[in-house]
Structure 1
């Protein structure tokens, strides 16, 4: 792979002359234009009311998808700067020019902002709930007298059974953000390829593969054409875009450290619990490539400093400052992971994440296991997830029943179905009709099923809960009207 192609500024719909209507030259790069398109979009704003870990939390401190995405964006940009400087300094690649450093930083900054933009309400459990709904119901839903699971082809079925927020992100920004036309946000192909973490279709993924790019699907059957166009233009040829490794590392750094901080604030994890866990990996972060970094020692030193300063809560002082120190260490390790495996990454042959066999690997593993054990499998989170599944199951039931005959045999729609279909965003329905034009009955059925997941994924946590309550007559929508 070559950087000249990897940093392609091509878009599905090419821009005009690059000049403003007043005649002044627009001096922004194409990747800077991507940034402004993203932050001005409703889809990005909705992330402020989507779950990172704790749904519908009342605290201003706890992270949402929006604040998480901003943190990933910042870390990804820093990583891009470090790595680009290393490539230039050590002349790792003759094809890498100085101006490409700024391009890489801008692409990664944008990619961090949109990497989770396709996720449904209620965090990763929302994805699980949607997958399991399809597993339970596709054999029961009838279309022209036959079960849907007997009609869809292998890839269509796998798309639904392995429903994935990463694939939904590509779909959203290329097709569903319907403002000017059918090209969505019309972002650059370099950026679009960066957010495709898994460049394989759903029926070829392998969760048990040793190659990281095959563990999940990266795009739906419905979006294969645009993915192939992006892949051809950037010349990745079935491989991960090199910047995808950097984006993934930034995401890992952000959530594995932030989950610990949020869990401490919510009293799932104490200072002493974290300290004892860190002592288990003490001395494992020493290497010839970096200065000695002992995470438990750093945490203890920060706690003592907090006590010396007479801060009100030395444990909180220690953990919050420890997070900053650890993120700096992890950024250095991810930089080393990329630059030391540069040739393999550029050849499309590197099957691991950037922390593999670095001095940070065991620390990252420990942080993930601690959060899983103390937070994600706690009674509090389990109770929330049971409630979230009830909301999503109900909405899937109602909208899927309504959508089966829509645009196929509309005269068979029941009065309730007509009303349910009317709730779906007109932008999403317009995108559906454009995609369905000229397609077979089965392909249109598949696209209608995606229309429902498109709409539900676009919901915020609060809206999904509110709609559920209204449709269940738990909160009368006409209250106060008369």
Structure 2
């Protein structure tokens, strides 16, 4: 892979060129303004990261998380770009490319979660499980829906994925000027494709991180091919995707600990106990997590802060992030050749001093937060909401846009779906077979559900079920 093509500024619809001389922004800087002005981006403020429907102003939303990933991604891009220039790792790499990388990653951080459904990652699980339990039971015109759909169509639903939905949303569903969505640059689109494989290409046992999940729907294969052929990434991960993923992992794993502390799931002393074995087992690490935490606690006491435990934990998070940024930078630059060759199969923390700390943070959040009774209760309620919405919406769209007459309630339910999504369906359905149209109508449901905020999903559920 070569940076010259990887950083492609091409778009599906190119601008007329009349105003180019008056606009000094790069194509990637223009992407930024397209994103932050979009309704899809604004909706992230009402999609929660860990604690759905939480009333606290402190707890992170998808919006604040995305801003953090954007900031971390840009910082990593600057560090890595400077390293490539300084050590001349690539003769064709220029200072402008370093700037472009930073802007692309800044934008990618903003939209990396834009396709996720309401209620965090549990929403993805709930939708996958709904299809697993209900798709085999659906019938259309006297035939089993499963028998009508191709293998990839079925697997698209059984492996439903927010990452694939993000690509679909920004290229088709955000109907601003025409059918090309936000019409973002190919370099940016390729960066957000974390898994460049179809639903039938998932290989959990391959040992390569890019094969773990699907990256695009069958309905969006054409744009996937255009983008990856233009950038030259093909079926490999775009190099910037590794950096985006590192920024995402770093942001949510450290933020989850801070949010858990604020919510009372962990205390200063909990964190102290958790960090002790890590420091004992890896004494050679330049970052001493337990030692740093205790020094921050002592500093808080000397400053006379009212809560030295809170002071220590929150400042420790900042210190840990700085250390992990340096680890991710090293992970990219030390594996530069294999990343550019498309053969590197791990995340950027693999083999660095930060790997064990990242593992610990993720494990601690799982044990002390995600496996808690409070979260389980939330997820049971969220599952009831999503199951009910999926039941009503799928039933309503089965015979939408067919010669079969819909009943009154189904017509009204279909009317709730955004015209943007229905326009995208009609454009894609032109000239398609009955089975392909049925597949696209099922996607119409996931498009609508993924566009919902947490509170909208809850309110629609209550309204559709007469709960006042």
The TM-score by the shorter chain falls in which range? over 0.9
| 2-structure distance, mates of 1:309, 1:149 | 66
Runs of at least 5 residues in structure 2 that lack an aligned partner in the other structure: none
- Residue matched to 2:179: 182
Q: Secondary structure at the match of 2:181?
A: coil
- Residue matched to 2:357: 363
- Residue matched to 1:266: 263
Q: Deviations over 1:396-426 (max 9, x none)?
A: 00010010000113x4201000000000001
Contact 1:284 1:359 in 2 (8 A): no
The Cα of 1:61 is off from its aligned counterpart by 0.7
Q: Does 1:36 align with 2:33?
A: yes
Instruction: Give 1 or 2: higher helix fraction.
Output: 2
Match of 2:222 among 216, 220, 225: 225
- Aligned CA RMSD, in angstroms, stands at 1.0
Q: Does 1:329 align with 2:323?
A: yes
The Cα of 1:3 is off from its aligned counterpart by 0.1
Q: Secondary structure at the match of 1:280?
A: helix
| 2-structure distance, mates of 1:75, 1:208 | 30
- Residue matched to 1:234: 231
Contact 1:286 1:293 in 2 (8 A): no
- Residue matched to 1:9: 9
| 1-structure distance, mates of 2:217, 2:223 | 10
Q: Deviations over 1:226-277 (max 9, x none)?
A: 0000011001121000000000000010000000000000000111111111
Q: Does 1:150 align with 2:143?
A: no
Contact 1:19 1:25 in 2 (8 A): yes
Contact 1:399 1:421 in 2 (8 A): yes
Match of 1:297 among 291, 302, 313: 291
- Residue matched to 1:314: 308
Q: Deviations over 1:323-347 (max 9, x none)?
A: 1100000000000000000000000
Q: Secondary structure at the match of 1:133?
A: helix
Match of 1:455 among 426, 448, 451: 448
Q: Does 1:89 align with 2:86?
A: yes
Range with bigger deviation, 10-19 or 60-69: 10-19
Deviation >3 Å, runs of 4+:
283-287
Task: Assess, with a 3 A threshold, how the Cα gap between structure 1 residues 109 and 286 changes in structure 2: closer, same or farther.
Answer: farther
Q: How does 1:123-134 map to 2 (within 5 A)?
A: 123-134=120-131
The Cα of 1:208 is off from its aligned counterpart by 3.0
Q: Does 1:470 align with 2:463?
A: yes
Q: Does 1:426 align with 2:419?
A: yes
Contact 1:285 1:292 in 2 (8 A): no
| 1-structure distance, mates of 2:52, 2:81 | 37
- Residue matched to 2:391: 397
Runs of at least 5 residues in structure 1 that lack an aligned partner in the other structure: 476-482
| 1-structure distance, mates of 2:327, 2:297 | 25
Task: Assess, with a 3 A threshold, how the Cα gap between structure 1 residues 32 and 2 changes in structure 2: closer, same or farther.
Answer: same
Contact 1:35 1:110 in 2 (8 A): yes
| 1-structure distance, mates of 2:243, 2:195 | 14
Contact 1:199 1:217 in 2 (8 A): yes
Q: Secondary structure at the match of 2:278?
A: coil
Q: Does 1:193 align with 2:190?
A: yes
The Cα of 1:18 is off from its aligned counterpart by 5.6
- Residue matched to 1:136: 133
Q: What is the number of residues matched between the two proteins?
A: 468
Range with bigger deviation, 145-154 or 342-351: 145-154
